[in-house]
Structure 1
């Protein structure tokens, strides 16, 4: 784990060194704010760990890894506006500290700065890297649009939901790993399997987040407990509950989904109890395990003995307790 600690320090140091811009201060301070409130730095770590399978000169590529982190935080800044989220990583969201218009504009310039960080890539890699970034960015936006459309629908299938979180969340992990391989000159075959590893565990991580929103300690999780339940958000848990509920359970669930005025604590407690009664927690845990296993199956096909470090890093995240 010494290597991962070293890489994390490199990522943090690079992020702290970046000003992103100077004036107007109100445009750039929100960027520095959201980048400074921490997180696992999962995506830049995946870039560097994938790179480490083939090369060790991490300092030469850390700026591209932190560009991916900036892109991720740009999506969070805008996502929080759309979700009307009050907290991000246990801190007030950008649109709460400043205002919605500032958060939109700061997010916009943040995306521009991401592309700026990529521009000094060697010409042999620049076109492919920007192509991969553009494809990933479009898919993230498509996933977010599907997520919003699902909120206006009474039913969403499991397949539709998995497709949505693949685009909205998982493809960015796949891109991070594929980018690391590209920067290191990895064979196309390995890059394909690295990408697939990222996508599969990314789906697993999002399903884990769905579970954590309901069953984790809110202080540890950094989000409002049961926020998805309060918002009637179409998570994997709710989709399966709608699918499996019948009789009185279905009536109670329907009542909570259609009632406009309610006590938040009471709703969270009632819906959580229904999830437990219907076995939704176990269903979700089983599905999470399936995606993690598929991901590690792809990683096993990567032709590098160093893949064990990447696997250990992912396993440590997977072992995070609900």
Structure 2
């Protein structure tokens, strides 16, 4: 099977999903957000992981789409909390409608995710659901930590990495683990798949932080420099705070404490500080280390190498992404 087959199956599934009709204000935002597409990395990973262990990977399509629906539910709510204006280059749901509608529509998406997970066959359903529930709680824990960090002066690198592990990586880990569960993999193989996802997820989120500063606005689909404007405690800012001295430290503190400023001027100034401190290179090294670890876990999986080809290529594509 190829990535194209998986993508086609997912596109057909998402095009057929109805979510609901009345009241339209409840369901239209869901259709709107899901129609924006996105990368759909997580359901792809579920299908790829299933195909490692069985040729009947199609039985994973609906459960895989549950992971994507859940992911979009978290995005809809996160955007409200972050007051984000754009998602995938288009207005966020709370901007296009309002926050109350976005909250309620997100709630229905969570219910829909559970509905789709019901498609896991009975003998494997309990494990899939138990792991999903734990993952869903961890994603919420990560989001709460992220919000806690907004009002804290000092956040350590270790705390930040734990937060992004919960907020982002555990769902990628679950996406792969779910594929293993559906495919009938051993507990050991499912654990290895989870570790692949955790490490790729950490590298992925750190790459997202990097692209927020150094990405191409045309390709990135979100406001470049948004993290700098909001003083978001990213790996890059944490490292800069730790490494800055003298005039560089004074300049960084000035921008972190400024109440009124021109957004473009602040982004330019802080980016120059990052350049001066070599923060981009530090981040790239960290990103590569996590991706390498993820690929090492994939190599340990006791499956024929040819079955791993698609998943390995997919992971390598994430390393080199620009969006």
Q: TM-score range by the shorter chain?
A: over 0.9
Counterpart Cα distance in 2 of 1:201 and 1:52: 19
Q: Which runs of 5+ in 1 are unaligned?
A: none
Distance 1:28 1:321 in 2: 32
Output the CA distance in 2 between the equivalents of 1:220 and 1:16: 24
What is the aligned partner in structure 1 of residue 190 from structure 2? Answer: 191
**Counterpart of 1:164?**
163
Distance 1:45 1:187 in 2: 21
Deviations 1:167-187 (A, max 9, x none): 000000000000000001001
Alignment partner of 1:226 is 2:225: yes
Aligned residue in 2 for 1:39:
38
1:59, distance to aligned residue in structure 2 (A): 2.4
- 1:311 is aligned to 312
CA shift at 1:117, angstroms? 1.2
Cα distance in structure 2, aligned partners of 1:19 and 1:29 = 10
Q: Between 117-126 and 239-248, report the one with greater CA deviation.
A: 117-126
Equivalent position of 2:240 in the other structure: 241
What's the CA shift for 1:12?
1.0
| Counterpart Cα distance in 2 of 1:122 and 1:221 | 38
Deviation, 1:74, is 0.3
Question: 1:3-35: per-residue Cα shift (whole Å, max 9, x none)?
Answer: 101101111110111011111111011111111
CA distance in 2, matches of 1:151, 1:66: 32
Q: Which residue of the partner structure matches residue 27 of structure 2?
A: 28
CA contact (8 A) 2:216 2:322 kept: no
TM-score normalised by the chain length of structure 1: 0.98
Q: CA deviation at 1:58?
A: 2.7
Alignment RMSD: 1.0
CA–CA separation in structure 1 for the residues paired with 2:74 and 2:309: 30
2-structure distance, mates of 1:11, 1:103: 24
User: 1:221 and 1:317 mapped to 2: Cα distance?
Assistant: 14
Structure 1 residue 316 displacement after superposition: 1.4
Greater Cα offset, 304-313 or 44-53 = 304-313
In the alignment, the residues of structure 1 paired with residue 25 and residue 284 of structure 2 have an alpha-carbon distance, to the nearest angstrom, of: 43
Q: Which runs of 5+ in 2 are unaligned?
A: none
TM-score by length of 2: 0.98
User: How far did residue 310 of structure 1 move?
Assistant: 0.7
8 Å CA contact 2:57–2:183 kept in 1: the answer is no
Looking at structure 2, the residues matched to 181 and 125 of structure 1 have their Cα atoms a distance apart, in angstroms, of 10
1:202 match = 201
SS at match of 2:232: coil
Total equivalences in the alignment: 321
Structure 1 runs of 4+ with >3 Å offset = none
Task: Name the residue aligned to 1:15.
Answer: 14
